[in-house]
Amino acid sequence: MPAERRIYTLPNNLMPEVKAVTFAKCSRSPEPFDQIAAELTEEKSAEFHDKWVVGFGHSSIAEHAVISLAIENVSNIATKVIEDSRLASFTEKSSRYQIFNKDKMYMPENVMNSELKDVYLDAVNSLMDAYEEMTQPMMDFVKQKYPRPEDQDEKLYNMISKARACDNLRYLLPTAVLTNLGMTINTRELEHLIMKLLSHSLKEMQDIGREMKEKAMEAVPTLIKFANKNNYIVQTKEELRRISRWELGNDAGANQAVTIVDYDKDAVNKLVASLLYPYSDLSYEDIIKKVKQLSDDRKERIIDESLKGREKFDAPLRELEHVYYTFDILMDYGAFRDVQRHRMCTQSNQPITVVHGYDLPPEIREAGFEAKFKEVVEKSVEAYNKIYKVFPEEAQYVVPMCFRKRVLITWNLRELHHFISLRSGKKGHASYRRIAQQCWRELNKIQPLLAKYIRVDMDEMSVSWAASLENKDYYYNPYAARNK
């Protein structure tokens, strides 16, 4: 008789390392998984990992050991460093649905032990005082501007009103403000994350890396015991920083929000060839030669057949991943916090700074808080400049989320579909909605045939908000003015 199919879960009480060995032994043992698991002990699992993962470098085994870590009271800067891990899952405290607390602020040890302590405290406390002072008036303002529809539940309306107020207020939050996040990660990726944290230039990251390793060792004592500071990372980054200053200088550069700096010039032919490839016996080289001989109408029809049948929750075909685009994006830090979460791409981040100026949310002005907003934000610029001279890395903590920063992102076409359709949607924050919309506009300029299949929401409200921020009356750069 044919063998009976079995699909089942392993017992929940198995330690992650035991689960990893249970699956790893599949390649050598004919026994069923539950029998393998029943015969294993934690000691036997540790011996296995010492031999095969540590000794022979079979690190893929560690991917079966998955743990969840609760990470509380870390700075907003730290969350972005942690969340740079591509193969992990994160959920973070929202700046839209929660009010942040002035008493929860990261205090960099070296700054606190220096003569700059009061400068630092004055800057972050002023920002948080203004944030707290404006919270209730902004709630009242948005309720007056957006009255409750008759058919809307009051509880839901209050939640929406709070989100609208917080969408504006979050621009005042310094990156030093503490937050929480939950992380689920496999041990192979965790080892790499701990190594990056221990090799980081900021002490907070190093401390988080050490504590993360200590807590994870309780669940996976063998698999991450060699996660240590990496001298190659430390030395190479420092040398590249030195070379950059020497070769490139200190200019802030252009102020354009979204620019496509590189892309597949032959994207249409490449996409059509990739779409047809799985259904042919020809080599890719032979296929693309034939594709290039097709008329534009034929190519468009093939692309149309591949994408027109998608329903709301259908992802585009994987073949779209063969086409790439590199964007240089300048956006406020609040928007960056959401854009950075799209990690199935390649990201290169520049430090948090004040040199690119800041955005003033139009509704802050409408509510009558422009003067107060500018006062505390520009105080943070003064603090940043003073702290930067002595502690250039730690100066980042006093910068509020209204300031702009740069990130270089290379997306494939499939991920671009996901990013633009999700982040341009009406439920999102206007700041990252305008980034998603602008990404679509830039793509549409160079390859309208491919852009037209991306679902983008261009509603008037978001476009109007974006236009306001592009207006010089809502964009300020006191740093540039002070250094002319």
Domains of the chain: 1-64 (no CATH), 258-350+405-482 (3.30.1360.170)
Look at residue 15 in the predicted model and tell me its pLDDT: 85
User: Residue 262 — left, alpha, or beta (φ > 0 → left; ψ -120 to 50 → alpha)?
Assistant: beta
- From the list 398, 376, 387, the residue with the least C-alpha distance to 476 is 376
The pLDDT value given to residue 481: 42
List the structure tokens of 322. Answer: 């063969």
Measured distance CA(436)–CA(409) in Å, rounded: 13
**8 A C-beta contact, residue 23 and residue 32:** no
Q: What is the pLDDT of residue 21?
A: 81
CA 197, 220, 73, 419 dihedral sign is: positive
The reported pTM is 0.89
Q: What is the pLDDT of residue 29?
A: 75
Closest CA to 202 of 340, 382, 117, 76: 76
Q: Name the residue among 193, 329, 324 with its Cα closest to residue 256.
A: 329
Note the residue count of the chain: 484
Contact (Cβ atoms closer than 8 angstroms) between residue 426 and residue 205: no
Q: Is the Cα torsion angle 209, 213, 214, 218 positive or negative in sign?
A: positive
Q: What pLDDT is recorded for position 439?
A: 96
**Of residues 174, 222, 262, the one with CA closest to residue 44:** 222
Q: How far from 157 is each of 142, 161, 425, CA to CA, in Å?
A: 11, 6, 19
pLDDT at 467: 58
Predicted pLDDT of residue 483: 42
Say what the pLDDT of residue 429 is.
Answer: 86
pLDDT score of 26: 76
pLDDT in tens, the chain (484 residues): 777 888 888 887 888 888 888 887 777 778 888 888 887 766 666 666 566 555 444 567 778 888 999 999 999 999 999 999 988 999 999 888 899 999 999 999 999 999 999 999 999 999 999 999 999 999 999 999 999 998 999 999 999 999 999 999 999 999 999 999 999 999 989 999 999 999 999 999 999 999 999 999 888 888 788 899 999 999 999 999 999 989 988 787 777 889 999 999 999 999 999 999 999 999 999 999 999 999 999 999 999 999 999 998 899 999 999 999 999 999 999 999 999 989 889 999 999 999 999 999 999 999 999 999 999 999 999 999 999 999 999 999 999 999 999 999 999 999 999 999 999 998 888 889 999 999 999 999 999 999 999 999 987 655 555 555 566 666 777 655 444 3
Closest CA to 217 of 390, 46, 427, 443: 46
Bridge partners of 33?
none
